[in-house]
Structure 1
Amino acid sequence: MAKVYVLNDDGSTEVMAGIHCKNEDLELQRILELNPDLMPGDQINPSDPRRWLVVKREMPVPDPSTGDNRWSIDLFFVDQDAMPTFIECKRYNDTRAKREVVGQMLEYAANGHYYWSKDEMRTFAEEAAEKNGVSLDEEIKRLQPEDTESVDVFFQHVQDNLREGQVRLVFFMEESPPELKSVVDFLNKQMERSEVLLVEARQYERDNMKIVTPILFGYTEEARQVKKTVSVTTGQRRKWDKDSFFGDLRERVAEEHYTAVKKVFGKSQDLKSELSWGTGKVSGSFSAKWPHLGKYSVFTVFSDGSITINYGSFKNTPEQLEFIDFLSHELTNRVGLSVPEDYERRYPNYKIEHWTRNVDELISVFELMIEKYPGRESV
Structure 2
Amino acid sequence: MANVYIIREDGGTEPMTRVHCKDEDRELQSILERNPDLLPGDQIDPEDPRRWLLVKREMPVPDPNTGSDRWSIDFFFVDQDAIPTFVECKRFADTRSRREVVGQMLEYAANGPYYWTKETIRNFAEEAGKGKGLTLEEALRSLQPTDDASADAFFERVQQNLREGQLRIVFFLEESPMELRSVVDFLNKQMERSEVLLVEARQYLLGGTRIVVPTLFGYTEEARKVKRSVTVTTAASRRKWDKDSFFADVRAKLTDAEVQALETLYGQTLSLGYQITWGTGTTGGSFNVKEPSMCPRSLLTVLSNGNLSLNFAWLNGSEQAERGRERLKELIAQHAGLKIPDDYSRKWPGYAIADWGNKVGVILEVLKQLSTEFRREMPNIPLQTDR
Whether the 8 Å contact between 2:85 and 2:169 is mirrored in structure 1 is yes
SS in 2 for 1:238: coil
- TM-score normalised by L of structure 2: 0.61
Whether the 8 Å contact between 1:188 and 1:194 is mirrored in structure 2 is yes
Paired with 1:36 and 1:201, the residues of 2 have a C-alpha distance of: 12
Report the Cα offset of residue 4 of structure 1.
1.3
Paired with 1:58 and 1:2, the residues of 2 have a C-alpha distance of: 34
Alignment of 1:86-105 (within 5 A): 86-105=86-105
Whether the 8 Å contact between 1:55 and 1:128 is mirrored in structure 2 is yes
Matching of residue 206 in structure 1 with residue 206 in structure 2? yes
The one-letter amino acid of 2:99's match is R
Report the Cα offset of residue 109 of structure 1.
1.9
Alignment partner, residue 107 of structure 1: 107
Alignment partner, residue 128 of structure 1: 128
Whether the 8 Å contact between 1:153 and 1:278 is mirrored in structure 2 is no
Matching of residue 85 in structure 1 with residue 66 in structure 2? no
Alignment of 1:100-179 (within 5 A): 100-179=100-179
Report the Cα offset of residue 278 of structure 1.
7.6
Alignment of 1:1-379 (within 5 A): 1-231=1-231, 234=233, 236-238=235-237
Report the Cα offset of residue 2 of structure 1.
3.3
The one-letter amino acid of 1:218's match is G
The one-letter amino acid of 1:102's match is V
Alignment partner, residue 302 of structure 2: none
Report the Cα offset of residue 33 of structure 1.
0.6
Paired with 2:96 and 2:38, the residues of 1 have a C-alpha distance of: 23
Paired with 1:189 and 1:42, the residues of 2 have a C-alpha distance of: 20
Whether the 8 Å contact between 2:122 and 2:155 is mirrored in structure 1 is yes
Paired with 1:121 and 1:136, the residues of 2 have a C-alpha distance of: 12
Report the Cα offset of residue 207 of structure 1.
1.3
Alignment partner, residue 284 of structure 1: none
Whether the 8 Å contact between 1:112 and 1:163 is mirrored in structure 2 is no
Paired with 2:2 and 2:167, the residues of 1 have a C-alpha distance of: 31
SS in 2 for 1:230: coil
Report the Cα offset of residue 70 of structure 1.
1.3
Aligned residues: 242
Report the Cα offset of residue 14 of structure 1.
0.3
Alignment partner, residue 321 of structure 1: none
CA gap of 1:239–1:97, structure 2 versus 1, over 3 A, is closer
CA gap of 1:239–1:201, structure 2 versus 1, over 3 A, is closer
Report the Cα offset of residue 112 of structure 1.
2.5
Paired with 1:119 and 1:193, the residues of 2 have a C-alpha distance of: 24
Paired with 2:200 and 2:100, the residues of 1 have a C-alpha distance of: 19
Paired with 1:94 and 1:235, the residues of 2 have a C-alpha distance of: 36
- TM-score normalised by L of structure 1: 0.62
CA gap of 1:162–1:4, structure 2 versus 1, over 3 A, is same
SS in 2 for 1:202: strand
Task: Write the deviation string for residues 311-349 of structure 1: whole angstroms up to 9, x where unpaired.
Answer: xxxxxxxxxxxxxxxxxxxxxxxxxxxxxxxxxxxxxxx
Report the Cα offset of residue 110 of structure 1.
2.0
CA gap of 1:166–1:9, structure 2 versus 1, over 3 A, is same
Root-mean-square deviation (Å): 1.7
Q: Which runs of 4+ in 1 moved over 6 A?
A: none
SS in 1 for 2:210: strand
The structure that has the greater radius of gyration is 1
Whether the 8 Å contact between 1:55 and 1:124 is mirrored in structure 2 is yes
Report the Cα offset of residue 39 of structure 1.
0.4
Report the Cα offset of residue 115 of structure 1.
2.5
Whether the 8 Å contact between 2:165 and 2:194 is mirrored in structure 1 is yes
Report the Cα offset of residue 64 of structure 1.
1.4
- Report % sequence identity: 68
Whether the 8 Å contact between 1:42 and 1:50 is mirrored in structure 2 is yes
Paired with 1:217 and 1:62, the residues of 2 have a C-alpha distance of: 29
- Structure 2, gaps ≥5 residues long: 240-280, 284-387
Whether the 8 Å contact between 2:82 and 2:234 is mirrored in structure 1 is no
Whether the 8 Å contact between 1:55 and 1:77 is mirrored in structure 2 is yes
Paired with 1:172 and 1:140, the residues of 2 have a C-alpha distance of: 24
Paired with 1:114 and 1:98, the residues of 2 have a C-alpha distance of: 28
Paired with 1:42 and 1:32, the residues of 2 have a C-alpha distance of: 16
CA gap of 1:30–1:106, structure 2 versus 1, over 3 A, is same
CA gap of 1:156–1:5, structure 2 versus 1, over 3 A, is same
